Amino acid sequence: MHTVLLRLSAPMQSWGTTSQWEERATTVRPTKSGVIGIVANALGYQLDGDLSALVPLQFAVRADRPGRTAVDHQTAGGGHPAPATRIPSAYGAPRGLEPDPAGTLQANETAIGRTTVLIIKQYVADAAFLAGLSTPDKELAEEIATALTRPARPLYLGRRSCPPAHPIFHSTTHLPPETWPERIPLLPEASDPTPQVWTETPPGLGTIASPEQVPTTFQERDHQLLHLEMRRVRPVTPQPPGGAA
């Protein structure tokens, strides 16, 4: 087995599975579809590119530093009427509000019809994960490792506003997804000596199902269920710089 390890560490990252419209949620960990998306971007895939070679990759992720959930509230529309294409700027002074004799404000139909939208975005803040993609295909693993080292396009962790804090390529190993989380040393920024691990596994008792199985192209939005086993491990603790602890 050949496993490519990715270091997913950043001030902010976001991994959605069910987000839509004004609410953009995140899971507490990187998803398989999100990690495959990073690899596809590094390889230079287009949005309609055929992902059939990447779908069989076996996925596991370890939360060395779980971080915390952060929420960002944003507005879109700036209070303008709906036909925004006729407005030269995105923002302007409110219109349709007039003072009345009683000294309060009146809102006419123009003001009531405003289209400002509140968007709620969730992020995983101050977190670090080690994710692995495993395959028996040595050439594919080498191709992925090379692409992550010299990506075709800039890489980000879930959203374009979430650049990585470190190079994403970590290393390669012959360990399978069942054992590498315990054998590979913790990341330097790790905060949990017994981190949580999620490993892709066949459906069965005790597994969790999440809609993050990669479709054949990212133009499709119908992500199938991926079954994961969740457990805690005690991986190797890295030595501090300068020698043993």
What domains can be seen in the chain, in order of their start residue?
2-72+121-232 (3.30.70.2660), 74-82+93-118 (no CATH)
Rounded to whole angstroms, the Cα distance separating 185 from 130 reads 10
Tokens representing residue 79 in the block: 């209070």
Rounded to whole angstroms, the Cα distance separating 103 from 105 reads 7
Bigger pLDDT: 84 vs 37: 37
In one-letter notation, the amino acid at residue 214 is V
In one-letter notation, the amino acid at residue 36 is I
Rounded to whole angstroms, the Cα distance separating 28 from 235 reads 20
Residue-wise pLDDT for 144-174, tens only, equals 999 999 999 999 999 899 999 999 999 999 9
pLDDT at 227: 80
> 130, 29 in Cβ contact below 8 A?
no
- As a whole number, mean pLDDT of residues 26-52 equals 90
Q: Given a cut of 80, is residue 98 above it in pLDDT?
A: no
- As a whole number, mean pLDDT of residues 74-87 equals 56
Whole-number average pLDDT of the chain: 81
Least confident range from 34-38, 62-66, 84-88: namely 84-88
pTM summary value: 0.78
Least confident range from 82-86, 106-110, 216-220: namely 82-86
Three-state secondary structure along 65-81? ECCEEEEEEEEECCCCC
